[in-house]
């Protein structure tokens, strides 16, 4: 009977993983020891990336296609070198409602040009404030009335409403459109 060699990871051999924030483009390649729990890993990511409080977070392992139990260790789940772990916010206290103070990442587009920006906005910001900022940043011409349309909803918003009031979600596309000469 031939002997086989199995490469075993010991508790002192670090594992290189890719950690991603599902709500932004943030990612980091880090080395962790196999005896680190996912709770410890999440706490480090929350501190390093300033992830907002008020959410329950989960970690999903891309290779396994599933969520992990946070109290388990890296080794217990069988995490391998170069595995991708994605941190996802799940809402407040088990619900799907976002925390009122958590920023929302939206895509703001100018309908008359190819300009677009990805911006983080707080839910209590009004569309009037958002429009004013866009006009300043993009130097949109005066003499026009502007509207904002939410692509996912297929409708124009009331400028005095807040982001939260109409239920914007992360990565919603908002298009600013000029509506002709004012007055």
* Domains and their CATH numbers in the chain: 15-89 (3.10.20.90), 104-181 (3.10.20.90)
Over range 54-65, report the average pLDDT.
84
Residue 111 confidence (pLDDT): 86
Share of the chain above pLDDT 90, in %: 30
Per residue in 156-181, pLDDT (tens digit) is 999 998 888 888 888 899 999 998 75
Whole-angstrom distance, CA of residue 161 vs CA of residue 157: 8
Residue 25 confidence (pLDDT): 75
CB 117 within 8 A of CB 175: no
Residue 136 confidence (pLDDT): 84
Q: pLDDT tier at 119 (50, 70, 90 boundaries)? A: confident
Global pTM reads 0.46
Q: Residue with structure tokens 């396994």?
A: 64
Highest-confidence segment of 57-71, 95-109, 142-156: 142-156
* 96/166: higher pLDDT: 166
Residue 12 confidence (pLDDT): 76
Whole-angstrom distance, CA of residue 41 vs CA of residue 88: 13
Whole-angstrom distance, CA of residue 81 vs CA of residue 121: 36
């Amino acid at each position: 009977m031939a002997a086989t060699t199995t490469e075993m990871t010991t508790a002192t051999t670090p594992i290189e993983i890719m950690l991603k924030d599902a709500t932004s483009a943030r990612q980091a390649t880090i080395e962790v020891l196999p005896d680190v729990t996912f709770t410890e890993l999440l706490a480090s990511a929350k501190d390093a990336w300033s992830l907002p409080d008020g959410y329950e977070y989960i970690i999903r392992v891309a290779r396994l296609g599933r969520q992990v139990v946070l109290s388990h260790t890296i080794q217990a789940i069988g995490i391998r070198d170069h595995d991708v772990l994605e941190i996802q916010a799940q809402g407040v206290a088990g619900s799907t409602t976002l925390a009122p103070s958590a920023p929302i990442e939206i895509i703001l587009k100018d309908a008359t040009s190819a300009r677009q920006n990805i911006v983080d906005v707080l839910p209590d910001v009004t569309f009037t404030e958002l429009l004013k900022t866009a006009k300043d940043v993009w130097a949109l011409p005066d003499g026009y009335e502007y509207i904002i349309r939410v692509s996912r909803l297929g409708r124009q918003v009331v400028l005095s409403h807040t982001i939260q009031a109409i239920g914007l979600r992360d990565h919603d596309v908002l298009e600013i459109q000029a509506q002709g000469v004012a007055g």
